[in-house]
């Protein structure tokens, strides 16, 4: 399964209020659960993105992108969150 977004670690964005060039973090979501299927985790990512976006934007004045990595994909540099039992 291909990731739901770009797995480059980060890319640059212009902060709207501060006028600074900042990195937009990509957070890789992995499934380390024995109870959830990859499809269930992948299906939850849009809801998680809607929850994370306002919090990240409010604190750092940038957004972040959540992407799914299946078990065969190498973990990128950057942030990783995984679903566990």
Domain boundaries, the chain: 10-83
Euclidean distance between the first and the last CA atom of the chain, given in angstroms as a whole number: 22
Paired with 12 in beta bridges are 23
Residue 47 main-chain phi, psi, to 5 deg: -65, -40
Q: How far apart are CA 60 and CA 58, in angstroms?
A: 6
Average pLDDT score over residue span 69-79: 77
Q: What pLDDT, on a 0 to 100 scale, did the predictor assign at position 19?
A: 54
pTM of the model as a whole:
0.64
pLDDT digits 0-9 by tens, 3-44: 344 334 444 444 444 555 556 678 889 999 999 999 999 999
Q: Which structure tokens are listed for 42?
A: 């992948």
pLDDT digits (tens, 9 = 90+) for 33-66: 999 999 999 999 999 999 999 988 888 787 888 9
């Amino acid at each position: 399964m291909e990731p739901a977004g770009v797995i480059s670690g980060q890319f640059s964005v212009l902060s709207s209020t501060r006028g600074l060039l900042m990195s937009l973090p990509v957070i890789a979501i992995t499934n380390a659960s024995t109870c959830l299927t990859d499809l269930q985790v992948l299906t939850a990512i849009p809801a998680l993105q809607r929850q994370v976006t306002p919090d990240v934007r409010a604190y750092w004045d940038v957004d972040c992108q959540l992407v799914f990595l299946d078990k065969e994909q190498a973990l990128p540099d950057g942030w990783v969150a995984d679903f566990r039992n």
